[in-house]
Structure 1
Amino acid sequence: MERIVVFLGAGASKSDGAPLQKELFRAYMDSVDESGETRERYYKNNPFYKNVKSDLFAFFDVYFGINLSHSREALFPTFEEALGVLEVEGGYAGKETVRKYKDAIIASMALAIESQLDNKRSEQNYRIIDSYHKLLIENLCDRGGHQVDFLSTNYDLLADNALLSQGRPINYGFTDQGHGIRLLKLHGSMNWLYCPGCGRIQATGAAEISANNLLDFSAHKCENCGSVQTSVIIPPTYFKNFVQYGDNIRRVWENAYEALSQADRIIICGYSFPHADIHIKTLLKKSEQGRKRSTPLKVSVFNGYEGKSGEEKRKEAYRYLRFLRKDTILDYQGDIPFEEFAKSPQQYIDGTQGGTI
């Protein structure tokens, strides 16, 4: 049986309407400025919506000198830069203000994603269960002869809901559960809550999660011990504080290592292999070294998007080529976006489309 690992990056979520990391704060500001149903839902149903807004505005003023009360036009830092700075500062100082700013950034991220997906859902003939993630899962997981694991760097719930909408149980990899399709979310997830008292992560049903659930962090109480739970969101930076979530994230990464080292083929979708994410690179390199298959590893990359230049493709392909072992077979498809691969993955896996570098 061929073992396949599908690695989902931000570009995969972008195909279904979610914003990229660099677009999150602008998407949040757009949702704040909306005067219709989206804004009314948050103001009416969740009083903490205003707290998130005021705390986020204060953060931008204090750290970046951006006064959003006077002007909404600004050159925003990326989500990675903003949360990464606070992760490091909080690790050294543990300031309550830092915690407040982090909560606001995470909540704004959830609001931005939900707002963008709401806009996508409003498009004619689009439903979330008809996503490209759903197409991919149907086309891969229902085909005999494959065992498929999913790895993701995304916080959104597109892959989760695609699996659940088809009645497929999910194994997130942070417990000893032995059933379901593995969906290993290396940077956390919008539906994960960590209890510092019990030391465990609880995964709420993905379809039930909305941004409203993440606005009031003090409302999340552990069912077992009553401790206040925290969100599990890890920024894609050089500095990653896995220890703050006990052994849970370590187990997720151990499962990811096992999946990668056992894989016959790794399919990377919507991920440009950025320099900063050395943890992902180390995970991939260690799995190459600890490989348990005698046949050469095949790595396929699908990261096409509108306006991508030939120079961007060349540099991206080179990043993969120089990093992977020379006996690893790289199939770089710089022109093929995630949505095209999701429609007919088997054609690319069988080698009937595309070419190999």
Structure 2
Amino acid sequence: MPIARDFFDIFDKLDLSTNPWVLIGSIIVFLEDDLGIGRGGAFDHLRSGIDIEDLHSQIEVARDTQLKSEGLVGAMTPYKAFNELLFLFAAVINDIQNGPPSQTHMKLVDSLNPEDVLITFNWDTLLDRALAERTAWRPDWGYGVSPKAMFNDGWHPPMKPKEDGKTGNLLLKLHGSTNWLTAYSVTDGHGMIVPGQDLDPSAFGVFERATGPYACFKGRYIPGYEPWAYGYYPPNLDFPGRAPPDGYTIVGLSPNFPWTKPGNASDAGLPSMPLIIPPVKSKSYEFFGGLFKTLWSKAENALTAADEIVIIGYSFPKTDIQSEKLFHRAFSRRLTIPKITIIDPNPDPVVKRMTADLGIPGSHLKIIADYFTPDFDLDAL
């Protein structure tokens, strides 16, 4: 998976980078006009090792500032650039995970106890797929929150858990997931960005698989994807769309350029976008109603109750202020000190966070300075 400073280098290696349906135009315009990068220099700038998290934060600040002062028309470039990066994040991850199930994640799932809880800040579905392949876990009930609908070659209501009680492990995705879908964002009559669905903002759909074309934006279905991954455009939702404010009407303008081939699928339904919390400094969890409040509360309870915590490859980045608060809240509720195993090729920052910030004594730490790969010896845990 790409990291903050090599995202566009990874993007360049994928067929996505030459697909005209993949939109980056507003990102380029933002760099050239809002940040003052010279004409033609935006592409070089994106590939100069910039931190994609810093760029997304800059776009977010410009969008919100211009929305307040100039309205949607004045803020159109950063508004569209912000969403283009969300789609680009999901598309790159979907291309990378489009293949056979990850053996690393399969081995991890095989080693779990039934009561183990999995907490992740990643958007990818490698762990989701491994759980579905190897256990009774289902996305219908296994995320700790209930989706409104599931996509399996069409939308349908989620299934109920099995009566035998074997539901698999709980998977809490605290920054959303590439296969979680929400309605494309719009603005209300007051310049505020809101979900485009006429449902509670916490309502979302879950994509699992598509073996044929599905309805999506302008019918731009892209074939060739394994379960848990999709092309640049996810399926449209069957949710009701938000009505315009009183005195307004909705006008759609969707030009077809001669150099862009038309889509070959339906465009029925409500346009969707990936439900992920982007790596910006001010993360808007509340945009999705109570969805993330529920997830983070369940994660806090799990960290409070756990006898042992295993931290794999998570370095507590500076932009994840909420994750630091999560551990502080959970550990302040504990009556005992947990055993903590850290798996990381560069474990020192995590060790410091555990000992200096959270007060975990060194005797309760087990440090494995290594990458978590298919060859990792799980007996070491």
Q: TM-score, normalised by structure 2?
A: 0.67
Q: Which residue of 2 aligns with 1:106?
A: 86
Structure 1 residue matching 2:342: 3-state secondary structure: strand
Does the 8 Å contact 2:342/2:365 carry over to 1? yes
Q: Which residue of 2 aligns with 1:348?
A: 380
In 2: Cα distance, 1:284 partner to 1:73 partner: 34
Change (3 A) 1:265 1:63: farther
Give the counterpart letter for 2:207 in structure 1: T
Larger Rg: 2
After superposing the two structures, state which structure 1 stretch, 89-98 or 146-155, moved more. Answer: 89-98
Q: Which residue of 2 aligns with 1:185?
A: 173
Q: Which residue of 1 aligns with 2:121?
A: 153
What displacement does 1:160 show? 1.3
Q: Which residue of 1 aligns with 2:231?
A: 211
What displacement does 1:92 show? 4.3
Tell me, yes or no, if structure 1 residue 270 matches structure 2 residue 313: yes
Q: Which residue of 1 aligns with 2:341?
A: 300
Q: Could you report, residue by residue, the CA deviation over 1:78-109 in whole angstroms, capped at 9, with x for unpaired residues?
A: 22212222334434444332221012112222
Q: Which residue of 1 aligns with 2:287?
A: 244
What displacement does 1:140 show? 1.9
Structure 1 residue matching 2:233: 3-state secondary structure: helix
Q: Which has the higher contact order (CA 8 A, sep 6+)?
A: 1
Q: Which residue of 1 aligns with 2:28?
A: 57
Does the 8 Å contact 1:188/1:233 carry over to 2? yes
Could you tell me the percent identity over the aligned residues? 22
In 1: Cα distance, 2:228 partner to 2:94 partner: 12
Structure 2 residue matching 1:194: 3-state secondary structure: strand
In 2: Cα distance, 1:23 partner to 1:113 partner: 13
What displacement does 1:314 show? 3.8
Does the 8 Å contact 1:175/1:248 carry over to 2? no
Give the counterpart letter for 1:27 in structure 2: I
In 2: Cα distance, 1:89 partner to 1:163 partner: 40
Give the counterpart letter for 1:186 in structure 2: L
Does the 8 Å contact 1:22/1:77 carry over to 2? yes
In 1: Cα distance, 2:64 partner to 2:144 partner: 26
Q: Which residue of 2 aligns with 1:353?
A: none
Give the counterpart letter for 1:301 in structure 2: I
Q: Which of the numbers 349, 359, 362 marks the counterpart of 1:325?
A: 359
Give the counterpart letter for 2:341 in structure 1: S
Q: Could you report, residue by residue, the CA deviation over 1:265-310 in whole angstroms, capped at 9, with x for unpaired residues?
A: 111101112233211000011000122xx54211211012xxx5xx
Give the counterpart letter for 2:199 in structure 1: C
Equivalences, count: 293
Tell me, yes or no, if structure 1 residue 136 matches structure 2 residue 108: yes
Q: Which runs of 5+ in 1 are unaligned?
A: 1-17, 32-37, 122-127, 350-357
In 2: Cα distance, 1:187 partner to 1:169 partner: 19
In 1: Cα distance, 2:90 partner to 2:308 partner: 32
In 2: Cα distance, 1:133 partner to 1:39 partner: 26
In 2: Cα distance, 1:193 partner to 1:68 partner: 34
Q: Which of the numbers 296, 299, 324 marks the counterpart of 1:256?
A: 299
Please identify which structure carries the higher helix content: 1
Correspondence list, 1:23-38, <5 A? 23-31=6-14, 38=15
What displacement does 1:208 show? 4.2
Change (3 A) 1:181 1:62: farther
Structure 2 residue matching 1:21: 3-state secondary structure: coil
What displacement does 1:180 show? 4.2
Tell me, yes or no, if structure 1 residue 198 matches structure 2 residue 214: no
Does the 8 Å contact 1:24/1:113 carry over to 2? no
